[in-house]
Amino acid sequence: MNMYFEDNQVDALQKRFGILGRSEGVQSMLATIEQVAPTDISVLISGDSGSGKELVAAALHKHSRRSHKPFVIVNCGAIPAGIIESELFGHKKGAFTGAQSDRKGYFQSADGGTIFLDEIGETPLETQVKLLRVLEQGSFLPVGSSTPLKVDVRIVAASNRNLEREVDTGAFRKDLFYRLKAITINVPSLSERKEDIPILANKFAHDCAIRNQIIFKGFSDGAFQVMSQHRWPGNIRELKNFIESLVILEKGGVIKTDVVYRYLNAEASPTELNPLLPVKLDRSVDQAERELILQQLFMLRREIAEMKELMGQAVQQRPLGDARTDEYHPAMEVLPDENGRDIIDEDITAILNPQLLGNLTAAQVEKELILRSLQRFKFNKRKTAQALKMAERTLYRKIKEYGISKEH
Ligand SMILES: Nc1ncnc2c1ncn2[C@@H]1O[C@H](COP(=O)(O)OP(=O)(O)OP(=O)(O)O)[C@@H](O)[C@H]1O
Ligand SMILES: [Mg+2]
């Protein structure tokens, strides 16, 4: 039952905002976006990780009078506390050791447009005071300056923490919370809107098939049923990654119940394939394991692609003259530095080469990836572990286990 709109209105809104779904939660979200997007009012978006908060923020910007101005995304959780103020508000030359010239902050870069403060719950209390000031007066002091700067920026903030609880524990300022929460958009988690799975899955599968030029013939009804029994702790991001792996690995046919069941259960217990599964495995354990690793490689690749996109978005908003090579960017924390940025991606692609892959066991695929990454990073284990999103300790163990050495 549609509480908010007629069916055709839902279709139109989904298209306009790029936010798919017909569930009540999504409709209520679309209704709020439609109401508040054209205004300058600040908005707080709350929702679990991977539920679509950034998509909502982007829709608010795109459908505002600011759409032709910058949309600057700041992941507050990824910026070390010591430099967050200079990142957000800029600094004057000489404000601190290493501040060799004046530098613009994200707020100035976003002038005229929208700033998206992702993970706002992670900002230190001192910085929260400054944010409140920007919200109330539209002005701030760059670090080391005594002249306030005025900007015309709309603030959209997001958090996957319960900010109310953070206020109770004293980790988040009450005044800032009340100022922000006037308009709150709650993004429902996927487990609360399982009826949206078919729409989302079909869209992700079609897009993936077109992008990779592979054939996709659809899902069986049973396949959707199995998907709706899954918990999806990683929400829509998890669904999207999952569908893309399926479409790529199972290319050609209709995706049926047993396949979905097998992959979902394999994901749930990655180390051992559950012998109690009611579905008969028609592949050898080795083959199944290889698929699993492949699946993980695909996910890693996607995540890297998403990070790159994110970096691109934030960096593009800066005037070219301001781009210094030593410039810190929050996303760099999670990316390998130096020239390693695209590298893991390339390595994965090389290993995914079917000819090579056909001859490798699961362990060999992993060993190959670790070896290539180590070589890329000149055997710097910290960087390699970071790039592979693996705990450094795990990397050491695997190096030993696979007998990898510099002589390889
Ligand atoms: N309703 C939706 N329709 C289509 N795609 C969606 C929808 N919601 C989310 N997505 C897609 O799912 C992925 C995750 O969404 P997004 O990055 O916005 O989540 P998030 O809530 O910001 O996650 P995090 O808390 O981890 O930052 C993105 O690729 C996004 O495009
Ligand atoms: Mg996000």
Is the CB of residue 240 below 6 angstroms from any atom belonging to ligand 1? yes
- Domain 191-282 falls in which CATH fold? Helicase, Ruva Protein; domain 3 (1.10.8)
Q: Between 52 and 311, whose confidence is greater?
A: 52
Distance CA 173, CA 125 (A): 7
Give the pLDDT confidence score for residue 15 in this predicted structure. Answer: 85
Give span(s): CATH 1.10.8.60, the chain: 191-282
pLDDT one-digit tens code per residue, 198-238: 999 999 999 999 998 899 999 999 999 999 999 999 999 99
Q: Binning pLDDT at 50, 70 and 90, where does residue 319 land? A: very low
Q: Between 288 and 86, whose confidence is greater?
A: 86
Q: Does the pLDDT at position 309 exceed 70?
A: no
Å from CA of 176 to ligand 2 middle:
21
Among 159, 208, 237, the mutation site with the greatest number of ligand 1 atoms within 8 A of its Cβ is 237
Helix (H) or strand (E) segment spanning residue 155 = strand 154-159
Among 54, 194, 306, the mutation site with the greatest number of ligand 1 atoms within 8 A of its Cβ is 54
Among the listed ranges 54-68, 142-156, 391-405, which one has the minimum average pLDDT value? 391-405
Distance CA 50, CA 190 (A): 9
Is the CB of residue 25 below 6 angstroms from any atom belonging to ligand 1? no
Instruction: Pick the ligand that lies closest to the CA of residue 187.
Output: 1
How do strand 139-140 and strand 149-150 relate by DSSP bridges? antiparallel
Å from CA of 54 to ligand 2 middle:
5
Is the CB of residue 236 below 6 angstroms from any atom belonging to ligand 1? yes
Contact 44, 181 (CB under 8 A): yes
- Residue closest via CA to ligand 1's atom 8 equals 52
Q: Binning pLDDT at 50, 70 and 90, where does residue 240 land? A: very high
Q: Which atom of ligand 1 is nearest to the CA of 54?
A: 18
Distance CA 201, CA 239 (A): 7
Contact 194, 228 (CB under 8 A): yes
Is the CB of residue 47 below 6 angstroms from any atom belonging to ligand 1? yes
Radius of gyration of the chain (CA): 23
- Domain 37-188 falls in which CATH fold? Rossmann fold (3.40.50)
Q: Does the pLDDT at position 261 exceed 70?
A: yes
pLDDT one-digit tens code per residue, 83-139: 999 999 999 888 787 788 888 999 999 999 999 999 999 999 999 999 999 999 999
Å from CA of 118 to ligand 1 middle:
13
Among the listed ranges 161-165, 240-244, 326-330, 355-359, which one has the minimum average pLDDT value? 326-330
Å from CA of 209 to ligand 2 middle:
25
Give the pLDDT confidence score for residue 278 in this predicted structure. Answer: 35
Q: Which atom of ligand 1 is nearest to the CA of 57?
A: 18
Residue 124 CB neighbour total at 10 angstroms? 13
Instruction: Pick the ligand that lies closest to the CA of residue 242.
Output: 1
Is the CB of residue 160 below 6 angstroms from any atom belonging to ligand 1? yes
- Residue closest via CA to ligand 1's atom 18 equals 52
pTM: 0.69
Instruction: Pick the ligand that lies closest to the CA of residue 244.
Output: 1
Contacting residues for 287 by C-beta, under 8 A, at least 6 apart: none
Å from CA of 312 to ligand 2 middle:
15
Is the CB of residue 70 below 6 angstroms from any atom belonging to ligand 1? no
Q: Which atom of ligand 1 is nearest to the CA of 47?
A: 21
Q: Between 373 and 5, whose confidence is greater?
A: 373
Q: Binning pLDDT at 50, 70 and 90, where does residue 394 land? A: confident
Instruction: Pick the ligand that lies closest to the CA of residue 234.
Output: 1
Å from CA of 304 to ligand 2 middle:
14
Å from CA of 75 to ligand 2 middle:
8
Instruction: Pick the ligand that lies closest to the CA of residue 186.
Output: 1
Is the CB of residue 55 below 6 angstroms from any atom belonging to ligand 1? yes
Residue 357, CA atoms < 13 Å, CB-side half-sphere: 16
Kindly tell me the sign of the dihedral angle through the C-alpha atoms of 215, 242, 9, 52. Answer: negative
Is the CB of residue 85 below 6 angstroms from any atom belonging to ligand 1? no
Is the CB of residue 369 below 6 angstroms from any atom belonging to ligand 1? no
Give the pLDDT confidence score for residue 275 in this predicted structure. Answer: 35
Give the pLDDT confidence score for residue 322 in this predicted structure. Answer: 35
Helix/strand/coil for 103: strand
Among the listed ranges 32-41, 270-279, 296-305, which one has the minimum average pLDDT value? 270-279
Is the CB of residue 185 below 6 angstroms from any atom belonging to ligand 1? no
Average pLDDT, the chain: 82
Å from CA of 10 to ligand 2 middle:
24
